[in-house]
Amino acid sequence: MARWGKFDFSEFEKLTKAFQKTLDERVIERFLRDFLMEMAMRSIRKVKKRTPVGETGDLRRNWQLGSVVKRGDAYQIELFNNTHYASFVEYGHRTGKDLTGWVEGRFMLTISMQEIERELPKYLEKRMVELLNDIMNGRPPRKE
């Protein structure tokens, strides 16, 4: 019969205890909320860069973020602009005396959100690696 030798499992046990101690629901929820807020801030920066300034700059200045809200199993954060003409600039609108002309939309929010969706896996992987490194090195998960 072959001998396998001796193996010290204490490091695995230590790692298991660190995961159990650290990865409770509060840590995971805080991680998700922080990550969503980070992505929302990236989104708002992209949207503002694409938003035309106009005469007053109100449209660009009025982009706002709501807070992270958990609804069922999903987390949501609202990015909005209360300027009354924001949707017309986003999607386009009729123009002229007889409303037969058309001004194309800028799609500043639509394009920015598509970019964020493409970038999201890269950022999520980076943040998860940071979280795991913190856990494995015995540091508390990072707080925002």
Domain ranges of the chain: 19-136
Record the tokens describing residue 124, joined without a space. Answer: 């999520």
Return the number of other C-beta atoms located less than 10 Å from residue 121's C-beta: 9
Separation of alpha carbons 117 and 39, rounded Å: 10
pTM of the model: 0.77
Separation of alpha carbons 90 and 80, rounded Å: 12
Per-residue pLDDT of the chain (144 residues; tens, 9 = 90+): 455 555 566 766 776 776 666 666 777 888 899 999 999 999 999 999 999 998 999 999 999 999 999 999 899 999 999 999 999 999 999 999 999 999 999 999 999 999 999 999 999 999 989 888 887 777 766 554
Separation of alpha carbons 39 and 37, rounded Å: 5
Q: What is the pLDDT of residue 144?
A: 46
| 95 contacts: CB under 8 Å, gap ≥ 6 | 101, 102, 103
Place of tokens 């909005």: 80
Q: What is the pLDDT of residue 21?
A: 64
Q: Minimal CA–CA distance to 54: which of 27, 81, 15, 18?
A: 81
Q: What is the pLDDT of residue 111?
A: 97
Record the tokens describing residue 79, joined without a space. Answer: 């990015």
Q: What is the pLDDT of residue 4?
A: 57
Q: What is the pLDDT of residue 1?
A: 47
